[in-house]
Structure 1
Amino acid sequence: MGRLLESSRLVTVTGVGGVGKSRLALAAARAAAEDAGDRWPDGVWLAELSPVRDPALLEFTLAEALGLTDHTTRPPRSVLAGHLAGRELLLVVDGFEQLVEETAGLVRELLRGSPGLRVLAAGRRPLGLDGEAGFPLAPLEPPQALALLTARATAADPGFAVTAEVRPVLTELCARLDGIPLALELAAGRLRTLSPEQVLARLEDRFALLTGGTRGALPRHRALRTAIGWSHELCTPAERLLWARLSVFAGRFDLDAVEYVCGGPDLPVDEVLDLIGELLAQSLLAREETPAGVRYRMLETVRLYGAGWLESLGDCGRLRRRHRDWYLGLATWCELDWFGPRQREVAALVETELANLRLALECCLDEPQERHLGQYLAGTLWFYWAGCGRLTEGRHWLDRSLEGGPADEEYEGSRLKALWVLGYVAALQGDAVPSLAALHACRDGAERSGNRVAAAYAVHRMGCLALVSDDMLRAGELLGEALEQYRETGELNSNVLMCQVELAMTLAFRGDLAGAVALCEEVQDICQERGERWTKAYALYVLAYAALDAGATAEARRRLTECVTINHAFRDPVGLVLAVELLALVTAVEGYAAEAALLQGAAEPLWEGVGLRLFGSGYFNAPRLTCRERAGELLGAERYAACARHGRSLSREELVERALRAPEPLPSVPELPRPRPENRKPVGSPEREPTG
């Protein structure tokens, strides 16, 4: 595999379902990550595509896998191409069978524009691109198959032994299953309760017709279907029913979701946990640890078999609606929990459940009569779109949910929420015209329906748009008006606190630092009481701005380091880049000109995640320009440029680590060590810490 990757920029592992394509690709990727050195200086990354059904989400999924955030209106494909253009990395693309043409088109475009990119794909068929090197993965040879079967059987039952009498039966069983690893593992799970002779007899007797009589099917496909079908046959009726119902999930799912979605009179909730245990024991489910807790995952081949049974039961529509309802409820509780001490856990939870939330959005938007639910769900996830670096995907769902004009008056509240969130997202993207259109539509609709809270949100986000457009006078008027409306209606959450921080920014930029500090100290007190941290980071930015103006550089640094820590944890690129640029100025004022230039340079790639420099002029630009002028005078143009260039080569994790420690004088620029390349997450690990 390593030699193929050296000689070809696209290698595709192909083979029948269950033959171990994903396992081999992940093993090769892990080996590449461990031995990367100079070969993959920008890391090895995994994109799991099996949960993706909508082609429009393909680019979002790859961007997510690469840890990208983008706040602009640029198409996600352009963002991907721009990110990869100058990098040398290995991208592993697994499970693209349901989107072969779309995946092939995207991979072709990325490879053409990214000379340093290598792609390792795993699927049942090649992508069909020029220059593609195939790696057909054959089933195991008889000795290997027997070794796998006995190893898995022994793991399930330590008392299992391969005697002279049983070896021929096991050998025949391996031959009957064509050496397909998944089929062998399913068979091994049954050897806990059945003898090898019984297992073989059931294969012979119960599925002879299925094995030999499927027209047009390859023998190995028939053998796999036999193994899965045989495992299905040996399940209890309750286990088969749960298997079918679990097929409505995308990616990972937890016990609570399974109990709600799959439970019912014919599948009592108090039996679900034991049934999951049985499916785990039979290798039909896998258990994973994630940042949000324990999750389960069903192999795609197994899931598709269950989906076929669910279809035959005529229960797909009802199960999809129950799935949708669960994730609507999850999003609602997450929005409430966002204003509290569980913000970090909420971010990790939504990240973990994103595939299922997307599926729920699809379910809502597939039915015109349920479009209001899609509007509600897309709007309710505002905290994730805006607070965790997901503006582009949020804009996608919000635009889709609002297609087709106004909904019934009964659901006007959902439409208004989607409108003000769309206005907010578009404003942060620097897309002023659509932002104003959505916010005016929200305010007009709110006035007609008497929805004072929605009206306040519309006015607030108009003020936010004025703020990022450098119209401080107008911003102050609108934000003050919105804050008064919030207080009159009793509204209090992270949005309301952010409105107060944004008002403080207008005061600070206009010279009223005392007024700005008073507003932000009040916000800090509420955040401390409630455990809120996301808005607190922006309050810290304003307080640091005021402290620096007053000459209190130690206080400014303390506040900014906390600000950097919070924004990095939430993957909020806007807050992070603003904090780093102000911290660079603090560092210059403290006399560490070279370190200031380095931080200033390190902020440049962060703007790629934000996209357009929407804060790139006027008031928000002042710290950057002042830092450049001050550090440049001390260092000279050539050394300043060298330090900034060194900063641009830092990964985000290295930048944050550097920002959080006390500054030190840098050695002479020619002696600066080349920093480690961008962080490499463990390929295939379910855990992924949120990054800023």
Structure 2
Amino acid sequence: MTASTYGGRPNGGLPAEVTSFVGRRHEVAEVKQLLSASRAVTLTGTGGVGKTRLAVRVGQDVRRAFRDGVWLVELAELDGPAMLAEAVAEALEIRDHTGATTMGVLTCHLRDKQALLILDNCEHMIAECAALSETLLRAAPDLRVLATSRQAMGISGEQAVPVAPLPLPDLQVPLEKLIRQDAVRLFAERARAVLPSFTVSEDNREVVTRIVRLLDGLPLAIELAAVRLRALSVEQLLDRLDDRFRLLTGGSRAVLPRHQTLRALIDWSYALCSQGERLLWERASVFAGGLDLEAAEAVCGEDGIDPLDVMDLVIGLVDKSVLIREDHPGGVRYRMLETLRQYGRERLAGSGCEPDLQRRHRTYYRELAARARAELFGPGQVAWFARLRREHANLRAALDSWLNTPGEARAALSMSGDLLYHWITSYYLAEGRGWLEQALAADTEPSRVRAGALWAGSWLAIIQADIPAATALLGESRRLGEELEDEPVLAYVALFRGMVAMCEGRTEAAIELYRDALARHRRTGDPVGIALSLIRLTLAHSFLGDSSAAIAAGEECLAECEASGEGWHRAYTMMALGVQVWRQGDLERAAELEKQSLTFNRAVGDPLGAGVNIEVLAWIAASQGRHQRAARLLGVLETMWSCAGAPLSGFGHLAQYHDDCERAMREVLGEPAFETAVRRGARLPLEEALSYALEEDKPERPAKEEERTPLTRREKEIAELVAQGMTNKEIAASLVIAQRTAEGHIEHILTKLGFSSRAQIAVWVGERARADGHD
């Protein structure tokens, strides 16, 4: 007898959906497109993310394209691969009486069939599912396989599609938009199934949003949570989610037992891991906000895991959807859903190894902060800023661990001071000051570390315009510096005392303090201190009207920064020079300096630096008669300073220019027009505001002009002055730069153009002008 099929279902064997399918429009479209081009597609992702529902929905949508049906093979209930082929045959409703092997029957049956086979939950016999799929696909040219698994099968031609949790909702959006976000929709629909009167309203929107965010947007967890509304209010549900593994039970009895509780589901994932992968899962749970490979090797290696094996174990956990791979400009990072991290943390605590892993973690991040501080002034600076920002959650966890470990407060003091530039160049200003205050309160013994933390805290206080606190911190730091004869501490104390003097209107005293700081920093060879002192001297001399001294200090600082490939202090130097050049009336040059500085501050995400740049650009616009632009920029600043929590970022003496600008714009535009322009600026999203400040909508220069000259804009300007017969001294005076800077530019021009004389530069300028006339 021959094999035959029974059932007569032309649409194949797919279960009916008993609950609504929410969201996933993009994923459904992507999988359908891939199935049209590839014969094997695997949906990968962590347990409970909705792979099965997605596969079934795709199968329903495409069933008309498969003449011989779409068939679901549920594999989760199989204990092992022994009955794999039989399970497929049963799902296809094949009855065989020939005595042939089941695989033989399957290949014979499917050879001429145009069908889609959905293999659901392949992870516990991934190798066998891969072998079966390859055999069937080779035998049946019109067969397609759609699999779901924690990891891809790894067969030829397979397309793997990672299925992520539902996007986390944004609490800030209007209610009508919030209720359309997939995670909230899923919660609301499942809640109405047990509580028909439930709706997401203005009264409960925050609680609902926090619930689905705490559950990582994981569909199974959201569904299990919604079921608890039979007995709990949404507020009670939120309060109990810290014990989510005990709370989230009692799902549908019709589904597999491991899908009825969140813990059972994750136990299943844990059981699929090797011993080394389980250890790494547990140890990686000490990280907050993700980790990179270097951190995994340093913290998780040893004691059962060879550091050389960490990479392979990470790959294994990524394959099994325990770790999520994320690409960043600085390299690849790995993230664990909070639900999986809590599970791993419970396992780690139960093993008794948690204290040791916490020690390794905090030690690693203290050393990371120290390395970032040591490499602050140089070409690696921007990469360090970005890296520390990515590691912020881990830095916070490490500081908390140091502070809560008896006898380790000094480590927290050292680490919080080393992170000074992280606090300043991000939105963590207030948080950084808080960490320093906690550490200073916990470790009161006199030490160089304490003295350094005191002046670091004073800078944060100055930026926040808390001058009394800054003065007190500097007083203690100075006393400790003198007792310990610590020259670096005394140098920074002088620098920040100068900043306090500027804020108090004592400009001459500030200049003396800055000069003292500069001399001390030069003796200790501290490039950071030298740059900061020169920047502040530039601003102070400018404020007094001493333009030559201001320009000299600024040009010297630029030279120091450029020689080291340094960016952040260079950007602030350009800002300070921009203020001086604006005061001298060279508005175009001043705007150019501020835009260059703003471009850098925007790239590194420094809100305080960007805010000062936009301040100066507003004053420049007012001086240019561009009154609407000036008023709009003042509106942008209202938003920026509100977010940063630091008006004028510690450059309080510049507030006079801001007030003058605002007063003038009110008079010129009139109150209604001024307020309208300010509101328009304040409503701009951050990126649009920065783009507006940089005037990026203005047409760029033709590319052919840039291609035919290797000179920078500044060098072309100087070349034209050379052609006019000006001496180096006259060029320096005309451009308000130091003579040695002008000489350096001319040397660069000669080198770039391959010339040996100023006369050749003049001829080149003339030829270029004639060429421009013919374009």
- TM-score (normalizing by structure 1): 0.65
Report the Cα distance in structure 1 between the residues aligned to 2:657 and 2:277, rounded to whole angstroms.
Answer: 62
Deviation of 1:89 after TM superposition, in Å, equals 11
- Pick from 401, 417, 423: which aligns with 2:452? 417
Q: Residue type of the partner of 2:488?
A: V
Which residue among 541, 544, 552 is the counterpart of 1:507?
Answer: 541
Matches within 5 A, 1:29-68: 29=169
Corresponding residue for 2:583? 549
- Distance in 2, matches of 1:270 and 1:26, equals 35
Q: Which residue of 2 aligns with 1:403?
A: 441
Q: Whose Rg is larger?
A: 2
- Measure how far apart 1:329 and its partner are: 1.5
Confirm or deny that 1:520 pairs with 2:554.
yes
Q: Does 1:575 pair with 2:593? A: no
Shift of 1:634: 4.0
In the alignment, does 2:212 pair up with 1:177? no
Provide the residue aligned with 1:481 in structure 2. Answer: 516
Asked if 2 retains the 8 angstrom alpha-carbon contact of 1:254 and 1:294, the reply is: yes
Cα shift at 1:439: 1.4
Instruction: For residue 502 of structure 1, give the secondary structure of its aligned residue in structure 2.
Output: helix
Cα deviation, residue 501, structure 1: 0.5
Alpha-carbon separation, structure 1, partners of 2:227 and 2:603: 34
Shift of 1:349: 1.0
Report the alpha carbon displacement of residue 591 of structure 1 after superposing the two structures with TM: 2.7
Contact 2:612-2:648 at 8 Å conserved across structures: no
Is the 8 Å Cα contact of residues 632 and 679 (structure 2) preserved in structure 1? yes
The question of whether the paired residues in 2 share the 8 Å contact of 1:520 and 1:543 is answered with yes
2:282 to 232, 236, 244: 244
- CA-to-aligned-CA distance 1:544-570 (integer Å, 9 cap, x gap): 122222221110110111122222233
Q: Verify: 1:428 aligned to 2:463, yes or no.
A: yes
Q: 1:465 aligns with which of 482, 497, 500?
A: 500
The 2-side partners of 1:28 and 1:269 are apart by: 35
User: Which amino acid is 1:319 matched to?
Assistant: L
Whether 1:377 aligns to 2:415 is yes
Counterpart residue identity of residue 473, structure 1: E
Out of 367, 392, 398, the residue aligned to residue 329 of structure 1 is: 367
In structure 2, relative to structure 1, the CA distance for the partners of 1:38 and 1:521 (3 Å cut) is farther
TM (norm. structure 2) is 0.59
Aligned counterparts of 1:309 and 1:369: Cα–Cα separation in 2: 27
What's the offset of the Cα at 1:542? 1.9
Q: Letter of the 1:650 partner, please give it.
A: L
Letter in 1 for 2:456: V
Query: 3-state SS of the aligned residue for 2:527?
Result: coil
**Does the Cα contact within 8 Å between 2:578 and 2:594 map onto a contact in 1?**
yes
The question of whether the paired residues in 2 share the 8 Å contact of 1:19 and 1:138 is answered with no
Question: For the Cα contact (< 8 Å) 1:291–1:349, is it kept in 2?
Answer: no
Partner of 1:603: 637
Matched, 1:287 2:325: yes
**Does residue 306 of the first structure (1) align with residue 344 of the second (2)?**
yes
SS of equivalent residue, structure 1 residue 369: coil
Shift in Å, 1:127: 7.9
Contact 2:280–2:300, Cα closer than 8 Å, also in 1: yes
Equivalent residue for 2:485? 450
Offset of residue 308 of structure 1: 3.0
* Separation in structure 2 between the aligned mates of residue 489 and residue 251 of structure 1, nearest angstrom: 38
Report the Cα distance in structure 2 between the residues aligned to 1:318 and 1:418, rounded to whole angstroms: 28
Letter of the structure 1 residue corresponding to residue 628 of structure 2: A
- CA distance in structure 2 between the aligned counterparts of 1:565 and 1:346, rounded to whole angstroms: 18
Counterpart code for 2:487 = R
The 8 Å contact of residues 481 and 489 in structure 2, kept in 1 or not, is answered as: yes
**d(CA) in 2 for partners of 1:39, 1:500:** 53
Deviation for aligned residue 1:40: 6.2
Q: Is the 8 A contact 2:502 2:653 kept in 1?
A: no
How many angstroms does 1:298 deviate by? 2.2
Matched, 1:585 2:623: no
- Percent identity, aligned pairs only? 32
Whether the 8 Å CA contact 1:379–1:417 is kept in 2: the answer is yes
**Alpha-carbon distance change, 89 to 543 in structure 1, aligned in 2, over 3 angstroms:** farther
Rate the CA distance shift 1:90–1:635 in 2: closer, same or farther, 3 A.
farther
Q: 1:598 to 1:94 in 2, by over 3 A?
A: same
1:653 aligned onto 2:687: yes
| Matched residue count | 506
1:131, distance to aligned residue in structure 2 (A):
13
Tell me, yes or no, if the aligned pair for 1:423 and 1:434 is still in contact at 8 Å.
yes
**AA aligned opposite 2:169:** A
- Determine the C-alpha separation between the residues in 2 that align with 1:616 and 1:530: 26
Deviation of 1:141 (Å): 7.0
2:587 is matched by which residue type in structure 1?
Answer: T
- Structure 1 residue runs of 5 or longer lacking an equivalent are 5-16, 47-87, 99-120, 143-171, 179-219, 665-692
Distance 1:545 1:462 in 2: 22
Q: CA RMSD of the aligned region, Å?
A: 4.0
Are the equivalent residues in 2 in contact too, given 1:350–1:384 (CA < 8 A)? yes
Distance 1:577 1:416 in 2: 30
Distance 1:97 1:599, change over 3 A: closer
Q: CA 1:635–1:427 in 2, change beyond 3 Å: closer, same or farther?
A: closer
